[in-house]
Amino acid sequence: MEHKGKVTKQIFIGFVSIVFLVLSLWFIFPSPDSPDRITYTLTWSALFALPLFFGIHITLFTRFASEDLILGYASSKQLTFNKAYLSNTVEQTIINVLSALTLGMVAPIVFIKLVPIQACIFSVGRLIYYFTYKSKPTNRFVGFVIGYYIAVLSVATSVYWVITGNV
């Protein structure tokens, strides 16, 4: 049962990190000049791809370092880990991009800078997830919470704005 306490603590730290990052990045990102929501939102969508590029490159370098792997004859523990990270990152990226697109379309214009904030937090969360999972799998929850629950919060906020008519 000791692991449940550690996991709960990591989840708490993940949520506190989201709040800290949102508040910090709110003051760093300028308010958008362009009233064009679609252009602004899509401009920031490239940032969501960074964890995917990272996963692709670490998988590529793992294969390149081994003759058996580069020829496709074998697998390794590291390659299996990298592929699992990449697969999970694809799933998380899809969820985050869709939620950010929704947020960008429905947020009051003063809050539209939450889109790049979400992209930054997602990217940071995925990097934390990779390195903590690689070092010790039970340490991955902070990064997972940061990368996943920012999308959940984005969807919840979008639904709130739609229901209340603040679109």
What digits encode the pLDDT tens for the residues 84-106? 999 999 999 999 999 999 999 99
* pTM (2 d.p.): 0.88
Sign of the dihedral defined by the CA atoms of residues 167, 162, 96, 11, in that order: positive
At the top level of CATH, the class of 2-27+43-164 is: mainly alpha
DSSP H helices in the chain:
2-28, 37-44, 50-64, 67-70, 77-106, 114-135, 141-164
Residue spans of the domains in the chain: they are 2-27+43-164
Structural contact between residues 126 and 104, judged by C-beta atoms closer than 8 angstroms: no
Query: For residue 157, is pLDDT > 70?
Result: yes
pLDDT of residue 78: 82
